[in-house]
Amino acid sequence: MNRITGSARALLATAALLLVAGTASTASATADTSRWASEQLPPGNVSLTGYAKPDAHTTWAAGFSITESGLAPVLYAKDERDDRGWIEVPTAPGYAGRVNAVAASSARDAWLVGDKARTGTAIATQHWDGTSWSVFAADAPAAASSAGYLSVVAHSPTDAWAAGWATIVDGVTTDPNGEPTQVIHREGIVGRWNGTSWQRMTLPQPYPSWNLNAITVVTANDVWAVGNGTNDDDKPVTLHYDGHAWSIVPTPAFTGLYGELYGVVAHGPNDVWAVGRTVLDPNDRGHALIMRWNGHAWRQVSVPAEAGALAGAAPVPGGIVTVGQKATADAEPYGLHITAGQARSLDLPAPSPGGANYTSAVGVDCGRVTIVGSGAQRAQILTGRL
């Protein structure tokens, strides 16, 4: 069984007004791959994990590359006024490691978030002030052997939010061979930027071991974070912040043995969407799991049987666009446009020769869709229209 736990979104890098008891119908159509264009990118062994649009002309795609000395941050930029297409642009000097997510509130306020260095307790984040990137450390729990932020929202220059995980060392025991083995568990973490520094927030503990994969901000007093329990508690987790404290919000019984939420987006306080994966049987690699908050409760949304694990989502009028994989052994890229009670396939093109391509993040601007991901040891960006 191919179960995904821990830092799920990074490992994958790879409707409208539904009634409480209603489901979304599936609209089938002949695939039209001509609507999608594969963007030309700089060469390199790169995995893309995030998408942002800092201004009306500029698009960013962020991720990391694998080098001889380890992982290195990567940021691609495209300016519609420039005929050079996608180019690699520098991030903060001296920064090393993954970039798991990118977000921007304006051309002068953006964030890149990644993982904790192997030594110390700091999670490295980078801030863009319109001129250059600067590194700001965010504290992880003192007992964390590893940690990182997987999602970030740039709400304003004095208010940003990030969510992720920390692996906590509880002690040391011996394995059956008498070798020392660490006893560990996972904890979700949320940090909030106050304009000067990151402050780690106090969270409830939904399970003995669990993590957070994504966060979205409706207002400064209305924030959602989603993830999953781990090990035997591999079930969806949703947390809500009301301006005073975080609380656990129950999710409904879902179809499947296990369930995880990897992405969350909001139209408003009474319309929040979470996407992820459910495992239907021990041999299932994962089917799509979508839940919608109506202001009172979460409800599972019906999706096509071919839809597999969904890693990212973006709001569109009346619904969402979400991307991930097909629920098949070859894990082809897959996307859905959910609106007006229907779930329509985005008809993404088949993977290129050399291996499967994974979609990890999506953005929509004026009907233009940008999907980022990776596969066959190369980055991939698809653009098209709904």
pLDDT tens digits, 329-339 = 777 899 999 99
In a domain, 69, yes or no: yes
Check residue 353 and give its pLDDT. 64
Distance (Å, whole) CA 254 – CA 319: 20
Domain count, the chain: 1
Binning pLDDT at 50, 70 and 90, where does residue 44 land? confident
Q: Where are the beta strands (DSSP E) in 280-354?
A: 287-293, 298-301, 307-316, 319-326, 333-339, 342-345
Q: What is the CATH number of the domain that holds 191?
A: 2.130.10.10
Q: Calculate mean pLDDT across residues 17-34.
A: 38
pLDDT at residue 196 above 60?
A: yes
Binning pLDDT at 50, 70 and 90, where does residue 138 land? very high
Distance (Å, whole) CA 264 – CA 227: 9
Buried b (16+ CB within 10 A) or exposed e, 89-128: eebbeebebbbbbbbbbeeebbbbbbbbbeeebbbbbbbb
In a domain, 34, yes or no: no
Check residue 25 and give its pLDDT. 37
Measure the CA angle with vertex 110, ends 104 and 115; round to 5°.
110
Distance (Å, whole) CA 207 – CA 191: 20
Give me 310's structure tokens. Answer: 């969904």
323 vs 357 pLDDT, higher one: 323
In a domain, 344, yes or no: no
Binning pLDDT at 50, 70 and 90, where does residue 182 land? confident
Q: Fill in the amino acid letter for 28.
A: S
Binning pLDDT at 50, 70 and 90, where does residue 32 land? low
* Contact between 99 and 152 (Cβ < 8 Å): no
Buried b (16+ CB within 10 A) or exposed e, 262-276: bbbbbbeeebbbbbb
Give me 174's structure tokens. Answer: 């011996």
pLDDT at residue 135 above 60?
A: yes
Binning pLDDT at 50, 70 and 90, where does residue 174 land? confident
In a domain, 30, yes or no: no
Q: Calculate mean pLDDT across residues 356-364.
A: 84
Distance (Å, whole) CA 46 – CA 99: 11
Q: Calculate mean pLDDT across residues 186-193.
A: 98
Check residue 377 and give its pLDDT. 66
* Contact between 191 and 200 (Cβ < 8 Å): yes
Min mean pLDDT across 209-213, 236-240, 350-354 is at 350-354
Binning pLDDT at 50, 70 and 90, where does residue 206 land? very high
Q: Calculate mean pLDDT across residues 366-378.
A: 85
- Please report, for residues 211, 290, 293, 326, the alpha-carbon distance to residue 287 in angstroms, rounded to integers and kept in the order given: 20, 10, 20, 8
Q: Calculate mean pLDDT across residues 368-386.
A: 87
Longest dimension (CA), the chain: 63
Check residue 22 and give its pLDDT. 29
Work out the percent of the chain whose per-residue pLDDT is above 90: 70
In a domain, 377, yes or no: no
Q: Calculate mean pLDDT across residues 108-130.
A: 90
In a domain, 75, yes or no: yes
Q: Fill in the amino acid letter for 170.
A: D
Which DSSP symbol is given to 9? H
- Domain span at 107: 50-325
Helical (H) or strand (E) element with 330: none
pLDDT at residue 12 above 60?
A: no
Binning pLDDT at 50, 70 and 90, where does residue 1 land? very low
Distance (Å, whole) CA 362 – CA 213: 15
Check residue 354 and give its pLDDT. 58
168 vs 3 pLDDT, higher one: 168
pLDDT at residue 16 above 50?
A: no
235 vs 70 pLDDT, higher one: 235
In a domain, 37, yes or no: no
In a domain, 6, yes or no: no
pLDDT at residue 247 above 50?
A: yes
pLDDT at residue 31 above 70?
A: no
By DSSP bridging, strand 25-27 and strand 342-345 are parallel
Check residue 26 and give its pLDDT. 40
Q: Calculate mean pLDDT across residues 138-151.
A: 93
Kindly report the length of the chain: 386
For residue 179, the SS3 value is coil
Measure the CA angle with vertex 257, ends 256 and 259; round to 5°.
75
Give me 199's structure tokens. Answer: 């402050």
Q: Calculate mean pLDDT across residues 66-94.
A: 92
pLDDT at residue 189 above 50?
A: yes
Check residue 24 and give its pLDDT. 39
Buried b (16+ CB within 10 A) or exposed e, 213-236: bbbbbbeeebbbbbbbbbeeebbb
pLDDT at residue 6 above 80?
A: no
